[in-house]
Structure 1
């Protein structure tokens, strides 16, 4: 068995022993015991013996990896939210323009914060403008 994800701590992984219906499992390349031991040695990776032909454990294996993916997604959201909080309470929103999810809320929050800090921005831009004096335009478009 070989597995070498670049970040194994964040890699979603299950092991599936397939085609267990063939000759009662006598043609296995890897014995079930060895597969289970390997999974245990790698932090209790979920292991499933499956047979698509006999519809055995296929749905269970799929549901397991789907559940792990949803848990991982929630963990990632928590990490992003925690990072934003650690940087001075930067607002964090999960948004989707396609599904019209949280877009208005995120925009209104950013607009409110921009208005609250309007004077801070003027100071910043005033300083930048002083470093780069305007040059007189002699020809061309006035834009």
Structure 2
């Protein structure tokens, strides 16, 4: 049944299909870009991080939020080389604004390289920090699609 150009779910229901509509949850976190990595030996690496933020002219900038940032995770020590203060923000909005034409792929933290992104979140009201994911930006023109043409 269509009224006022809208479909009503009650008329589209079937006995074998369950439909659930919920708003997308906002994932708030701090996004850091890996600037440089230093291998100190003994299985430890030092990772230099810089936080990623909206451009200064972007109209959706959030205010300052006090957040804790981790100094060590697994076999990596972190050094923060950002002039500003990191802010909690909606991760999906930030990445879709900054990397419109590029693909963002999930990676494991063991294969970090300069240019990758680390996303941290603060759990509840405590100062406990948790890494959500490590991401790699893959540009559309960074690889050739016909690599097999030169194979023998």
TM bucket, shorter chain:
under 0.3
Higher helix share: 1
Larger Rg: 1
Of structures 1 and 2, the one scoring higher in RCO (CA 8 A, sep 6+) is 2
TM value normalised by structure 1: 0.22
TM value normalised by structure 2: 0.21
Higher strand share: 2
